[in-house]
Every structure is written in structure tokens, then in C-alpha cells.
Amino acid sequence: MAYEEHILLVANGFAGLSWGRADILCRALVKNKDRRRIEELGAEFRAQAVRHGRSPEDTEAVWKMLADLAGYMFNKAHSAAYAVEAFRGAYLKTRYPVEFLAAVLSNRRGFYAPIVYVLEALRAGARFLPPDVNLSETRFLVRGDTIRLPLDQVKGLSRETVKHILQARPFSDAGDFYRRLRPHRSEWLPLLKVGALDSLGEPRGRLFWRLARLETVHGNALLEPEVPESGLDGKPKPQWEHELLGFPVSCHPLDYFAPGIDWRRYVPAAELGRHLEKEVEACGLIVCDRLHPTERGTMKFLTLADYTGFLEAALFPDVYRGYGHLTTCPVVALRGRVDPFDNRKGFCLNAFRVQSPRG
């Protein structure tokens, strides 16, 4: 038995419960919250089954099968819908990986943080481009193997400003941009920092002073103008991109979060499956983590990313007590055993030690 509907079929076909009573039993088992109610329905199931000609031994065995699956059953229609979606997603990701991952990022409904899909797109050969006031839309745009970020990815940019940009463009230069939009510094400065104004044809430093001067002429200057200390010499600044876009686009996120690491010291994520039941060292950027309470204390699950893919790791309570504080760092190195599961089709790194990566 795997689906909720199996409860209905067994309750009716084996025990002779009416469809209405079978549905009540099904709901109780699926929710698995009221144990007293489940036991009451279990007594009804047993009595009805015996009256239906089943032996007490068979009845008890079948009830145990039902009770053991309480809380784990799933609706068959939902399962079929998920299966169709999973197949379609796998098909698209296999044949159109850049377009598929751009669509996931545009939809902003994925299970993981956006950085995970960015890393996967980079691994598929994509290259990210910063937002552009003359070219970007409100979705991630694909042109060949490049993905251009949308305007509304820029932190602090209002929907009204994005809408106004889309309506007023194209802009020929900084003066044209400013006169049409009259943006506040809190909006044009982030655009400038992430490179969204580069298409206006001037270095970022010159653009800054032109826009600041236009602000003064039109009476919108701040009393204490913010002058960025560096980075307006035309060179991208990954830290600004991370702050304003959520991830750097002018370099690989691992180059930004983990500069200077000697990745040759560590087993790549894509090769861990070759080291089942062996002790290895791996390293990666933490892209997902989850705490899990157990009888022996709290443990932690980690998802790490390197240049080759993703790996799952587990820190059991004793390890988490000793090294958990290090998992607040963006990049960690783990030493542990590669434990297989699911008939050796999958594996997880059972971490023994956490430490800072080595250069």
C-alpha cells in the first residue's frame, strides 16, 4: 500500500466498511495526529472485518499494515501530477538547461535559494549578464548561452520605477535617462553599481558625476551625497552585485565566496559516488541547511556546491555539537565517510569533522 486510495479499497474490500466510514479512517490515518481516534477506528475495522468473514489473524496483520503507514500515505492523483511535472522538468532540463533554469529563476518559486539555480546554470555552460535599463525585462532573458538579469532583481528598485523604465526607454545617454525618469539617488545608484547603466555609453565614474550634477541642477541632490569610495572605474564589483542582486554575476559565485581555495585537495562533488564507504575530504559553498532534532540531540543536514555539482552531508549530534558553529561560514571543508543508500543509487557524506578550507 502506497496511496491514500489504498486505505479506502482495503477498508471497504477487506473489512466491509462503507465508503463513508472508509473515508473517515483514511483521513485519520493520513493526518496521524489523533492516536485515540485511530485506535477507535481500528477497533471498528477489526470488528467489521471479522463480521465480513476475515480471520482475527489476517485482520490484525492487515490493520498493522495500515497503521504502520499512518502519516506517510499520499494522494494518488497528486502523485501522478507530480510525476508528470517531474518528467517534463527533467526533459526540459536535459535538452534546454539554460532556458529551463532561467524560467525557474523567473518564476521565483523553486525549493532552493536562487543561488542554487544560478550555480546549476553556470555548470550547464550559461553565462550571466547584469541588468540593463535598455535591454532587461522583468524576467531572466536567454540569448544563446547567456542569461540577462531582470530589472526587478535590483534590490530597492520599486515596481513603479521598473514599469517607468520599460515604458520610457530606450535611453541614449545619462541626460536622456535622467530627464525622462527623474529617479531618486536611492534608485539610480544601485542601477549604476550593478552595471545596469553601462549601455548609456560612459564609464561608471563619469556617469556617477553626471547624474549627481543633474540631480543638483534639478534640485534633487541629497544634502550629504553618497560618493562610492571605489568601483566606479568601469570594473565590476562582485560585492555590490551580491548585495544588490543576491549573487555576483561578473565572476563565478565560488570565486567570490571562496577565493584562493586549492580545490585539488578535495574530492569533487561529481566524483563522490566513486568513493562509497570510503573516508574523503570535500569542500563547497553551503547553499541549503536544515536542523533536525533527534533523541541524542540536534543534527544538521547541509547541501554544498562546488564547480562540479552538489553534495549532501549530515552532521550527527556529536559532530554538530563540536563543529556546528563552523557551518555558519559560507564555505566549509568536510571530512567524512560516503555512506550509500537506496541500494547504492544515492549517497550522503557522513561528516566527522568540519574545518575552514585550505588554500
Task: Report the topology of domain 263-355.
Answer: OB fold (Dihydrolipoamide Acetyltransferase, E2P) (2.40.50)
Give the separation between CA 81 and CA 258, rounded to whole angstroms: 40
**Euclidean distance between CA atoms 351 and 109, whole angstroms:** 31
Domain locations along the chain: 4-68, 92-245, 263-355
Peptide bond before residue 114 is cis, with ω within 30 degrees of 0? no
Q: Give me the pLDDT at residue 227, please.
A: 52
pLDDT at 316 over 50: yes
Higher local confidence (pLDDT), 295 or 223? 295
| Angle made by CA atoms 148, 156, 304, in degrees to the nearest 5 | 60
In the chain, pLDDT over 70 holds for what percent of residues?
95
> pLDDT digit string (tens) for 46-60?
999 999 999 999 999
- What is residue 281's predicted lDDT score, i.e. its pLDDT? 97
pLDDT value for 235: 57
- CATH topology agreement for domains 92-245 and 263-355: no
| 104 Cβ contact list (under 8 Å, min separation 6) | 110, 117
pTM: 0.79
Cell 465508503 appears where?
A: 19
**Stretch 247-254: mean pLDDT, rounded?**
93
Whether residue 68 has pLDDT greater than 60:
yes
The answer to whether residues 200 and 177 touch, using CB atoms and an 8 Å cutoff, is yes
The pairing of strands 346-355 and 310-315 is parallel
**pLDDT, mean of residues 321-325:** 94
pLDDT of residue 180: 93
CATH architecture of 92-245: Orthogonal Bundle (1.10)
What is the arithmetic mean of pLDDT over 272-296? Answer: 94
Q: What's the pLDDT tens digit per position in 326-339?
A: 999 999 999 999 99
From CA 254, how far away is CA 109, in angstroms rounded?
24
What pLDDT, on a 0 to 100 scale, did the predictor assign at position 289? 94
Give the per-residue pLDDT at 96.
96
**Tens digits of per-residue pLDDT, 95-151?**
999 999 999 999 987 788 899 999 999 999 999 999 999 999 999 999 999 999 999
Q: What is the pLDDT of residues 13-24, one digit of tens each?
A: 999 999 999 999
Q: 3-class SS at 115?
A: helix
Q: Report, as an integer, the average pLDDT of 3-27.
A: 93
What is the band of 88 on the pLDDT scale with cuts at 50, 70, 90?
A: very high
Work out the average pLDDT over 315-320: 96
What counts of helices (H) and strands (E) characterise the chain?
A: 14, 8
Average pLDDT on 230-258 reads: 84
pLDDT for res 229:
47
pLDDT at site 9? 94
pLDDT > 90? residue 314 = yes
The rounded percent of the chain whose pLDDT value lies above 90 is 77
Determine the pLDDT at residue 248.
Answer: 93
Contact 186, 244 (CB under 8 A): no
Of the given ranges (133-142, 152-161, 168-177, 234-243), which has the lowest mean pLDDT? 234-243
What does the alpha-carbon distance between residue 174 and residue 192 come to, in Å, rounded to a whole number? Answer: 11
Q: How far apart are CA 202 and CA 248, in angstroms?
A: 22
> Residue 352's closest CA among 278, 274, 262, 284?
278
Three-state SS at 315:
strand
- Give the pLDDT band of residue 344 (cuts 50, 70, 90): confident
User: For residue 226, what pLDDT is reported?
Assistant: 55
Q: Are 148 and 131 in contact (CB under 8 A)?
A: yes
User: Per-residue pLDDT tens for 219-238?
Assistant: 665 544 655 545 565 556 89
